[in-house]
């Protein structure tokens, strides 16, 4: 499949060459969005949801696999350094202690999911609703795979499924559908802006 430009590269096309400084600024701004998405809890059934996994996947899709993965790794480094960037921090701890806890697998899954959605986005998947739906579904599956495996190692598979997967089906479906609408709309807006 032919490689496509990323959403961010298309947005900045013709505005000078890509630079490390520009990429660093984008990554830092995106970690701010990730932090915000982890802190905002939206009332949902059966458990409140954050928008963190949606933002992880959108970051991967919008920035591509290299910058998207680097951004999520920077976010992890901020958390490792003790900054309260994750959901439930600082109340549930910070730094390595938090990252090695029950949500550690999901955090690793964020990195892998940004990589996967970034690759799919660079192949043009996120320009259409169906393609974006497929990419985000795969991205969420990656997050759950890592999260479930980690949690199962701590508390057993049955408890990991009941506590770490089952309560999040509805919220994940909602976030996947939201992202599948958001990404093609962003592409439409950026391409229209480029033509203006």
92 compared with 181, residue with greater pLDDT: 181
Q: How confident is the model at residue 18 (pLDDT cuts 50, 70, 90)?
A: confident
pLDDT at 17: 64
Could you tell me the pTM of the whole model? 0.92
pLDDT at 59: 98
The two structure tokens encoding residue 67: 């910058």
pLDDT at 194: 80
pLDDT at 99: 94
Q: How confident is the model at residue 19 (pLDDT cuts 50, 70, 90)?
A: confident
The DSSP bridge partners found for residue 42 are 49
pLDDT at 81: 96
Locate the domains of the chain by residue range.
7-195
Q: Is residue 14 over pLDDT 70?
A: no
Averaged pLDDT of the chain? 92
Q: Is residue 171 over pLDDT 50?
A: yes
Tens-digit pLDDT profile for residues 110-133: 999 999 999 999 999 999 999 999
Tens-digit pLDDT profile for residues 57-79: 999 999 999 999 999 999 999 99
Q: Is residue 168 over pLDDT 60?
A: yes
Q: Is 139 left (phi over 0), alpha (psi -120 to 50) or beta?
A: alpha
The two structure tokens encoding residue 51: 């928008």
pLDDT at 189: 94
Q: How confident is the model at residue 1 (pLDDT cuts 50, 70, 90)?
A: very low
Helix (H/G/I), strand (E/B), else coil: 103: coil
pLDDT at 48: 72
Q: Which of 1, 8, 5, 3 is nearest to 186 (CA)?
A: 8
Query: What is the second-level CATH architecture of the domain 7-195?
Result: Orthogonal Bundle (1.10)
pLDDT at 80: 96
- 171 contacts 47 by C-beta, under 8 angstroms: yes
Q: Is residue 92 over pLDDT 90?
A: no
Report the chain's C-alpha Rg in angstroms.
17
Return d(Cα 51, Cα 17) in angstroms, integer. 32
pLDDT at 126: 96
DSSP 8-state assignment for residue 49: B
């Amino acid at each position: 499949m032919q490689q496509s430009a990323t959403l961010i590269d298309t947005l900045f096309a013709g505005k000078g060459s890509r630079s490390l400084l520009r990429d660093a600024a984008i990554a830092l701004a995106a970690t701010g969005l990730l932090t915000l998405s982890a802190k905002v809890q939206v009332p949902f059934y059966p458990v409140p949801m954050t928008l963190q996994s949606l933002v992880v996947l959108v970051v991967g899709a919008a920035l591509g696999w290299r910058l998207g993965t680097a951004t999520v790794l920077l976010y992890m480094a901020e958390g490792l350094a003790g900054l309260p960037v994750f959901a439930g921090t600082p109340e549930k701890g910070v730094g390595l202690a938090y990252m090695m806890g029950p949500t550690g697998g999901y955090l690793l899954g964020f990195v892998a999911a940004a990589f996967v959605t970034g690759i799919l986005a660079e192949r043009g998947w996120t320009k259409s609703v169906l393609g974006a739906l497929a990419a985000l579904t795969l991205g969420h599956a990656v997050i759950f795979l890592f999260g479930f495996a980690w949690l199962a190692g701590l508390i057993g598979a049955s408890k990991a499924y009941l506590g770490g997967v089952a309560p999040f089906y509805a919220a994940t479906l909602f976030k996947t559908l939201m992202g599948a609408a958001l990404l093609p709309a962003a592409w439409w807006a950026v391409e229209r802006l480029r033509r203006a």
